[in-house]
Amino acid sequence: MKFIYFLFILVLLLSCGSHENPESFNKKKSDSLNLKAYYFLNVNNFDSAKYFIDQALLLDSTNFGAYNNRAVVNFRVNGESKKIIEDFETALKIKPGYEIALFSLANYYDEIRDYKKALEASNRYEFQANTIDTGHIRIINNIRLRAQKYEKLVGHISTSQAILFYDSIQSITEETVPTQQRFVNQIAEIQKKIAFQKMNSSDFTYLSNLYDSAIIFNKIELTKIKSLNDIDSSTHYKEALENHIVTFQNALKDKFNRYIFCLKTQDIGLIRNCLASFNATLNQITFTKIEMLKAEKYFKSKYGFETVDK
């Protein structure tokens, strides 16, 4: 009889424990889904991680860890910066002092080179984090030091502003220069083929297409560079770059066109006669490029971001 009574009490206790309120159940289930998301995040399966994060937030919109993980996923897949920051901030609004989100936010601002915000986030981590990870604090200190150096003013311009200007130029040239370089490389390739009598008509068709593309991309490059606001004309960086682009542009319209005509004849004697004038043009282009690189080096040195790398 005592045994039956004990079983009855045990069943009653288990029965009471199983009637967990829906809100508590949803929170636990949400945490479980977020753990799955964290696993997939660590193995770079971002689609699965995003799926489980979304499910976790459907069950519990206050799951601060899920907001943090969603921000990390979006960062890893080059998502929208505004949404990434919003998710980190939402996690911190739900749980002020949440160490992981504070650490992640400082790292994110550092990664996108927003050094003013990185400095603010580093200080915020130190003063607001509920717990401090010794490994994290070393990284945070490095972020702070880097941000302080990049926010240093040279005249009225900060290093971070100079970097933004420099990166804008690099973005333009990375888009436009390769096509122009392929055109120059094709001319050199055709010269070799003519010397060894290995020419065919498709080589000139390809060269003509590259010539047209080089003109288009050169024009795009010059237009975009001119549209940039020169933050420091005293370095002559933008001026030297424009001069190099214009020199190449003029050569495309005149000297390159003439030399292509000479190449199409495949007459070695005529090509040799044209080559002297063409080489003089190449030397002029090379000279303006060297001057541009000197100005670029001076610009980077002046604002100190050659020696303040990660």
- What local confidence, expressed as pLDDT, does residue 23 receive? 76
State the DSSP code for 114: -
Q: What does the alpha-carbon distance between residue 66 and residue 129 come to, in Å, rounded to a whole number?
A: 18
The model's pLDDT over 150-176, given as tens digits with 9 standing for 90+, comes to 888 898 999 889 988 999 999 999 999
Query: Contact at 8 Å (CB) between 218 and 212?
Result: no
- What local confidence, expressed as pLDDT, does residue 309 receive? 45
Q: Per-residue confidence of the chain (310 residues) as pLDDT tens digits? A: 433 333 333 333 334 444 557 778 889 999 999 999 999 999 999 999 999 999 999 999 999 999 999 999 999 999 999 999 999 999 999 999 999 999 999 999 999 989 999 999 999 999 999 988 889 999 999 999 999 988 888 989 998 899 889 999 999 999 999 999 999 999 999 988 888 877 777 888 999 999 999 999 999 999 999 999 999 999 999 999 999 999 999 999 999 999 999 998 888 889 888 988 999 999 999 999 999 999 999 999 999 876 544 4
What is the assigned CATH class of domain 157-303? mainly alpha
- What local confidence, expressed as pLDDT, does residue 306 receive? 64
- What local confidence, expressed as pLDDT, does residue 11 receive? 35
In angstroms, the Cα distances linking 120 to 142, 148, 172, 288 are 13, 10, 30, 42
List helix spans (H) across 151-306. 159-195, 201-227, 237-251, 257-265, 268-303
- What local confidence, expressed as pLDDT, does residue 19 receive? 53
Whether domain 19-153 has CATH 3.30.1310.10: no
100 closest CA partner among 77, 119, 74, 125: 125
- What is the residue extent of each domain of the chain? 19-153, 157-303
Q: Give the other-Cβ count within 10 Å of 91's Cβ.
A: 26
Q: What does the alpha-carbon distance between residue 6 and residue 163 come to, in Å, rounded to a whole number?
A: 75
pTM: 0.66
Cα torsion 169, 170, 172, 175 to 10°: value is: 170
Tell me, what amino acid is at 217? Answer: F
